[in-house]
Amino acid sequence: MAAHTPARTHRVSVAPLGVLRALVQKIPRILTYALLLAWSSIGLFSLLWIIMTALKTNQELFANVWGLPSAPQWDNFARAWTRSKMGNYFINSVLAVGITVPVIAVIGSMAAYVLARCRFFASRAVLLFFVAGSSIPLQLITVPLFLFFNKIGLLNSLWGLMLVYIAIHMPFTVFVLTGFYGTLPVELEEAALMDGASFHAVFWNVAFPLASPGIATVSIFNALSVWNEYMLALMLLSDRSKFTVPLGLYNLKVVQDYAADWVGLLAGLVIVLIPSIGIFLLLQRRIVKGLTVGALKG
């Protein structure tokens, strides 16, 4: 019995070391989850506070900033929508997103497919050209862009602003979709070519539907970027009837500064946030699928 005692003591002493080693290995993951939880909590708390405050009166806001509204003031949203012309700004932003995002998706898909499937002497140089275009800071092109648009008569034009949105989002779209088209199986396209389909028919009937997860992903990012874009719209638009939502929100801020209607300002902010949050909540699975499907196929 004395001979077995050391072995029993050894097992008892090793077990805590194993538990301690396992805990040490899990520390990075625990810290990561704690950081993500804290970040999410801050964002969720800020969003809930904005919504709660938008339902108050101005007297309730200054009486108790953190208190709940005694009765929801839904007319704050109506006032922000009508008096501040947020409805007009909302329509302009919907028009900008609804036109630019499909155009970017179609043109970017065609360019990306050619770069992924057609190997010509300058294909890599063209791809690097698109990558270089996405690395140019927007602040560097504002003055030349303003002078150019002033000369060709597209200044203070919503259609001119859409052209700029298409141009600045095209490099990102082409870069992402080129890698995505490269992961698609070539056998399906070759089978369609052997059946007599043209190159254009193969793209529209085979490659384009297969790339729908990637196209949807970049389209969502482009839509959110166009919806929230402020600097270019501020530089190129001067007529308030053509303002987009970010400019309208700033105009609402200026108006409410003089009127001291802070709850109306927050109500306008909620109106701006609703489409972005709704798009993310409805399409978050598609975003993750589009970002990971290429890696899984590769």
CATH entry 3.30.420.40 includes domain 76-297: no
Q: Domain boundaries in the chain? A: 5-54, 76-297
Backbone angles phi, psi at 81, to 5 degrees: -75, -40
Q: Percent of the chain beyond pLDDT 90?
A: 19
pLDDT tens per residue, range 150-198: 999 888 999 999 999 999 999 999 988 988 888 888 888 888 888 888 8
CB contact at 8 A, 161 and 97: no
**Cα gap 9→11, rounded to integer Å:** 6
Question: Which range among 30-39, 65-74, 200-209, 288-297 shows the weakest confidence by mean pLDDT?
Answer: 288-297
CB contact at 8 A, 116 and 182: yes
pLDDT tens per residue, range 102-133: 999 999 999 999 888 887 777 788 888 888 88
Backbone angles phi, psi at 58, to 5 degrees: -65, -35
Residues 6+ apart with CB under 8 A from 96: 158, 161, 162, 165, 226, 227, 244
Query: What distances in angstroms separate CA 231 from CA 150, 225, 237, 243, one per listed residue?
Result: 17, 12, 10, 12
Rounded to 5 degrees, what angle do the CA atoms 213, 219, 225 make? Answer: 145
The neighbour count for residue 239, using CB atoms within 10 Å, is 9
Q: Structure tokens of 3?
A: 């001979």
